[in-house]
């Protein structure tokens, strides 16, 4: 049999060196560091890859579309749709990187879509309910009560996340605006306060005084306020 032609696709697969999961992870996370992703994002990827391997029970670099589909089917028996989608997003980033850099031949996530979740209705307070809430807080006549009033006003004016709010420092408050530094995408942004909120923030800073921590919002022990504890 003549050997003058090109190798077939099957023959090329035989001689092509396959990348291992460990090598794939090393390349992927190196790219994450070069793009200066947050440590929390990198940890998120690591945790999701580890969890996915438990469901798939094979090397991630060897996965095909059917393996991902089986992952979804098995996951639905144990975890919520939102958690599954979080895992799929991590896998999509991983496989997109590998395919783009020609480390795998096919992208198993190419035709995989996120699961549809039922829309959840978020109950919001109307103006009368907000006014009642503020009156209830003001009746406390305590530092924590006044702090919570100011926090609520800032939330209503700006719509910042709780994690962003607790990261604000005193120097970030500048007249009618606050510089938000601890953001989800690591880019600073500016939010603005109404006159009423601006005045209350000034009063709060005056009562707060000079402390060892530079965080704007503190607990009753003069320590920085944590997002998991409003006390």
pLDDT at 226 (0 to 100): 83
Alpha helix segments (H runs only) across the chain:
9-15, 21-34, 39-56, 65-75, 81-100, 127-138, 143-158, 162-166, 195-208
189-192 and 173-174 as β-strands: parallel, antiparallel, unpaired?
unpaired
Instruction: Enumerate residues 6+ apart whose C-beta is below 8 A from 82.
Output: 117
| Superfamily designation of domain 127-208 | Intergrase catalytic core (1.10.443.10)
DSSP three-state, residue 150: helix
pLDDT at 15 (0 to 100): 46
Q: What is the pLDDT along the chain (231 residues), one digit of tens a residue?
A: 555 666 565 554 544 567 899 999 999 999 999 988 888 888 889 989 998 988 888 899 999 999 999 999 998 888 888 889 989 999 999 999 999 998 998 999 999 999 886 655 445 566 777 778 888 888 888 898 999 999 999 988 888 888 888 889 999 999 889 998 876 666 788 888 888 899 999 999 999 999 999 999 999 899 998 877 654
Domain edges within the chain: 18-100, 127-208
Q: What is the pTM of this model?
A: 0.50
DSSP three-state, residue 117: coil
Cα 130 from chain centroid (whole Å):
29
- In order of 58, 68, 100, 216, the CA distances from 205 in angstroms are 56, 53, 51, 8
Cβ proximity of 179 and 134 under 8 Å: no
Taking the CB of residue 158, how many other CB atoms lie within 10 A of it?
20
pLDDT at 67 (0 to 100): 93
């Amino acid at each position: 049999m003549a050997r003058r032609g090109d190798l077939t696709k099957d023959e090329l697969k035989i001689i092509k060196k396959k990348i291992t999961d460990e090598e794939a992870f090393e390349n992927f996370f190196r790219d994450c560091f070069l793009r200066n992703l947050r440590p929390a994002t990198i940890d998120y990827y690591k945790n999701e890859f580890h969890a996915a391997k438990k469901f798939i029970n094979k090397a991630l670099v060897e996965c095909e579309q059917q393996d991902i589909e089986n992952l979804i089917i098995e996951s639905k028996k144990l975890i919520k749709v939102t958690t599954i989608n979080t895992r799929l997003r991590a896998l999509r980033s991983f496989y997109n990187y590998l395919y783009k850099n020609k480390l795998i031949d096919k992208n198993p996530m190419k035709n995989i879509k996120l699961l549809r979740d039922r829309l959840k209705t978020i109950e919001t307070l109307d103006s009368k309910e907000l006014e009642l809430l503020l009156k209830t807080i003001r009746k406390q006549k305590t530092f924590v009560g006044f702090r919570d009033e100011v926090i609520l006003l800032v939330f209503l004016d700006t719509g910042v996340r709780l994690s962003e709010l607790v990261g604000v420092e005193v120097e970030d408050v500048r007249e009618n605006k606050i510089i938000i530094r601890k953001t989800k995408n690591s880019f600073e942004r500016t939010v603005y306060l109404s006159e009423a909120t601006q005045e209350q923030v000034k009063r709060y800073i005056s009562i707060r005084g000079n402390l060892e921590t530079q965080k704007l919002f503190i607990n009753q022990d003069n320590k920085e306020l944590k997002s998991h504890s409003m006390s």
